[in-house]
Each structure stands twice: as structure tokens, then as C-alpha cells.
């Protein structure tokens, strides 16, 4: 929970100062927040809303929850509907990730600014903040501070997020708020058309909303002064595993993977591999990845991507397949259990990966058939993510079984 300590050293954003995390001891109070960033543009009329959505488009902001969808397009789609609602997604179901919690614990008002702004831009009267239980009270307090100041016309409702890996999936968040069931729903309908209580619903990751609140203040050109032309801006990353100072950092998108690890104190051991993106990310050979930009373009040919901003470093000597078997078993257990291929396929696959990791007799043809039979066959992307992880492990650690017990 102490990401800001890492940022205090400065110089993390080649030529840019940290944008999102409060440099002092968080959470930033409303007065501190306003002193740092200035007031949020409010009371937008229709033409101003359209101008600002276009500005968000020029900024090139994309979702920071993992899917990377262009934020302006989502805003425009929801704004076109009648009486929409905004959901700020701070569920952070990804167990290795801490960036959303660190952000909310550090700059709660930046997230609330973004939620209020998203509501104004789409014409919503209410924004529901779904906060991980670790930061629920911080968000409550921040919302109360704003209510006392009479700041927002938009009604802010704070809810505690459900726990579990799939609970953060957008439709699962909506179903959690509405029905108390944190499991995804079928598409169609899209949430932008029919989501919470049937209303057009904008579900946006809390980090995305924080960026939105800054674009509204400082504009697209400022936003693009960090990151790469194709993937502008900064992003929060959680660095974990074999590094000296694991934690949450803010980096310009496209900073090399090696530099990101340096910013986390450097590796604490020679590295074998990196898990990039999250639990449903991709294992890559450390040597192949260190020089790569941490961006979609920079990692594409490794079949990897920044995902939800996770880098986990696996030291040499650790067993990648064993680690993957543990993750596969975890992900199998985290299936919402709604879809057959995911419910039955993932445990079967996890069992095979466990046998493989233990150097026992396995039928890799069977494993590969099952991977094919589960991929793309759920109501959400949970099985696909698990399959991507396991396939990447077979690529990266394929030669490993038998050499270790």
C-alpha cells in the first residue's frame, strides 16, 4: 500500500513528474488535491461536453483496467443513451495487482473527479464508486468531504467491491451492484446500451477516470507529453516478485521493461522470466523482454501486453511451470462456474499442468486439445486469459519438465 514512497525519489517518468499518485502521505485531502491540480471544469453544457469528449479522443486515453478500449468512444456511446449511469471500477480482482488500491489510497479525489466528470460528459446523475475493501473507508471519507463542500451535482455512491478474480469484469461489477452476484452476464446486450438497472452504463477503471480528470484540466497535448505517440500518457504498474522494492510505480507508457524494474530497485536475483500483464498475462523470457518498451506495440510479438499493468519477476532457479500450475489451479477456482468449458475445462487443464510441473507422465496432446476447447468459450474472457497464460508457460518453460522435481 505504500506506492507513493517509491515515487518520492522522483525521476521515474523520464522528463515527466508523476501525475496520479500524491507525493505526500496520502490520502490527499480535498484542499491538498485542489491545490495540486486546480479546480475541475464543471457545469459543462452540451457543446462543451462534446468538445471535451473529442479532446479525450485526441489525448488517446485508453482503459487502464486491462482491455485498453478507447475511452472517448465509450463516453460517446453512453452519452448517446437515455439517463445513463457511471460506475467507477476499483474492484482490482487481479491478486498480484495493487495499483488501483494505491491510487485510491493516495489520490481518492482524482478518481472521484474523474467519476463526476464522466457523469457530466455522459449526462449521468449518479456515479457508483466500487472500491476494493482495503480502500472503502478512504473513498467514503473523500466522498463525504466533497458532499460537505457542496462540490458535485452528481450523486456519488460508494460500494464495497466483491472479492474474487472475475468480480472486476465490467458486467460482473454491474451485476454485483444490482443483485449482489459478482459474476459476468452474457453479451449482448452491451453495458453501454443496457447495464445497471437497465440504464446505459459506463464502467470505467478508476485509473482511467483519474487520467480523464487530468485531461479535462490540462488537455490532450499535455497528456501526450508522456508515453509514445501511439500509446500516449502514463500508466500505473505493479512490480512484484524478484525486485528489491516491489510496489506501484507510475511510468510513461513505452518505458523499457528493464527500466521499470530498475525503478523498482532492480532485480534481487538473476531473472529467468517475467509475467507481464497479470494472472492472465503472458510469461516471457526475461532476456527477451528487458529491452522491450512496456507497451502494446513493444510487446506484441512476444504475444504479451501491459494488460492491467503488472510485471512479476521470476528468478533463475524458480520453477516456472510449478508457478504456472499454482496460477492455473487458482484461476480454475476463480471461475464464476457459469460456463461449462470454463467450469470443467480449467480444473482439468490445471491438473495436467500440475502433472507436467511435477515431471509426471503427461499427455501434452490432450493438454493442447483442452486448451483449444476452452479458449474463447466463456461468457467472459476468464477462460481465454487462463489459456493465454498456460500457453505462454509452455512456450517459455517447455523444456523444464523432467529437469526438476
Partner 1 sequence: MSGRSGHGTAAGLRLRVDFIACDGRGVCAAALPGLISLDDWGFPVVRDEVVPGRRLADAQATVRACPKLALRLERGR
Residues that bind partner 1 (CB under 8 A): 184-186, 338-342, 344-345, 348, 369-370, 372-373, 375-379
Residues 6+ apart with CB under 8 A from 123: 49, 79, 83, 84
Nearer to partner 1, 215 or 339 (CB): 339
246 φ/ψ angles, rounded to the nearest 5 degrees: -60, 145
Residues counted in the chain: 405
Nearer to partner 1, 23 or 341 (CB): 341
Smaller CB separation from partner 1, 241 or 379: 379
* Closest CB 394 distance from partner 1, rounded Å: 19
Least distance (Å) from partner 1 to the CB of residue 378? Answer: 6
Q: Which is nearer to partner 1, 306 or 383 (CB)?
A: 383
Q: Minimum distance from CB of 380 to partner 1 (Å)?
A: 9
Nearer to partner 1, 2 or 338 (CB): 338
What are the distances in angstroms from CA 100 to CA 92, 121, 170, 273, 310? 6, 23, 15, 25, 12
Task: Tell me the three cell numbers of residue 53.
Answer: 469528449
C-alpha–C-alpha distance, residues 211 and 205, integer Å: 10
- Shortest distance (Å) from residue 363 CB to partner 1: 12
Q: How far is the CB of 347 from partner 1 (least distance, A)?
A: 10
Answer for the pair 308, 278: CB distance below 8 angstroms, yes or no. Answer: yes
Q: What is the CA radius of gyration of the chain?
A: 21
CA angle 71, 73, 77 (to 5 degrees): 120
Please state, in angstroms and rounded to a whole number, the distance separating the CA atoms of residues 101 and 135: 6
Q: What is the largest CA-CA distance in the chain?
A: 67
Looking at the Cβ atoms of 38 and 333, the one nearer to partner 1 is 333
CB 38, min distance to partner 1, A: 45
**394: its cell numbers:** 509452455
Cβ proximity to partner 1, 173 vs 339, nearer residue: 339
CB of 47 to partner 1, least distance (A): 35
Phi and psi torsions of 256, nearest 5°:
-65, 150
Minimum CB–partner distance for residue 367 and partner 1 (Å): 12
Instruction: Let me know: does 143 contact 156? Beta carbons within 8 Å.
Output: yes
CA distance 358 to 286: 23
C-alpha cell at 253: 507508457
User: Cβ neighbours of residue 326 under 8 Å, at least 6 residues apart?
Assistant: none
| Residue (181 or 269) nearer to partner 1, CB | 181
Whole-number Å distance between alpha carbons of 3 and 106: 8
Closer residue to partner 1 in complex, CB, 131/371: 371
CB of 375 to partner 1, least distance (A): 8
Q: Are 79 and 123 in contact (CB under 8 A)?
A: yes
Amino acid at each position: 500500500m505504500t506506492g507513493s514512497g517509491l515515487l518520492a525519489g522522483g525521476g521515474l517518468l523520464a522528463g515527466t513528474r508523476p501525475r496520479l499518485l500524491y507525493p505526500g502521505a496520502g490520502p490527499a485531502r480535498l484542499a491538498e488535491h485542489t491545490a495540486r491540480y486546480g479546480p475541475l471544469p464543471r457545469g459543462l453544457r452540451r457543446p462543451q461536453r462534446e468538445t471535451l469528449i473529442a479532446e479525450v479522443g485526441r489525448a488517446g486515453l485508453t482503459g487502464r483496467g486491462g482491455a485498453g478500449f478507447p475511452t472517448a468512444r465509450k463516453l460517446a456511446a453512453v452519452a448517446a443513451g437515455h439517463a445513463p449511469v457511471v460506475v467507477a471500477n476499483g474492484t482490482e480482482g487481479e491478486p498480484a495487482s495493487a495499483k488501483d488500491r494505491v491510487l485510491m489510497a493516495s489520490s481518492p479525489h482524482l478518481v472521484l473527479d474523474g467519476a463526476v466528470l464522466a457523469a457530466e460528459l455522459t449526462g449521468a446523475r449518479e456515479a457508483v464508486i466500487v472500491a476494493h475493501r482495503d480502500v472503502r473507508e478512504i473513498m467514503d471519507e473523500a466522498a463525504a468531504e466533497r458532499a460537505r463542500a457542496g462540490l458535485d451535482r452528481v450523486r456519488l455512491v460508494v460500494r464495497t467491491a466483491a472479492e474474487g478474480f472475475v468480480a472486476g469484469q465490467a458486467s460482473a461489477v454491474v451485476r454485483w451492484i444490482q443483485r449482489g452476484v459478482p459474476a459476468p452476464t452474457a453479451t449482448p446486450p452491451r453495458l453501454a446500451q443496457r447495464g445497471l438497472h437497465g440504464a446505459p452504463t459506463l464502467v470505467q477503471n478508476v485509473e482511467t477516470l483519474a487520467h480523464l480528470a487530468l485531461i479535462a484540466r490540462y488537455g490532450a497535448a499535455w497528456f501526450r507529453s508522456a508515453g509514445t505517440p501511439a500509446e500516449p500518457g502514463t500508466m500505473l504498474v505493479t512490480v512484484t516478485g524478484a525486485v528489491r522494492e516491489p510496489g506501484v510505480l507510475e511510468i510513461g507508457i513505452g518505458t523499457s521493461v528493464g527500466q521499470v524494474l530498475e525503478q523498482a530497485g532492480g532485480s534481487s536475483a538473476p531473472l529467468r522470466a517475467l509475467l507481464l500483464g497479470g494472472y492472465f498475462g503472458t510469461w516471457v523470457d526475461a532476456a527477451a523482454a528487458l529491452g522491450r518498451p512496456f507497451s502494446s506495440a513493444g510487446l506484441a510479438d512476444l504475444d504479451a501486453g501491459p494488460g492491467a499493468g503488472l510485471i512479476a519477476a521470476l528468478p533463475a532457479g524458480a520453477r516456472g511451470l510449478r508457478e504456472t500450475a499454482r496460477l492455473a489451479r487458482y484461476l480454475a477456482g476463480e471461475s464464476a462456474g457459469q460456463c461449462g468449458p470454463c467450469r470443467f475445462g480449467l480444473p482439468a487443464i490445471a491438473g495436467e499442468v500440475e502433472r507436467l510441473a511435477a515431471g509426471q507422465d503427461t499427455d501434452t496432446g490432450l493438454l493442447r486439445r483442452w486448451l483449444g476447447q476452452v479458449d474463447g468459450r466463456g461468457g467472459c474472457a476468464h477462460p481465454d486469459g487462463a489459456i493465454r497464460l498456460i500457453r505462454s508457460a509452455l512456450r517459455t518453460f517447455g523444456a523444464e519438465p523432467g529437469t526438476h522435481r
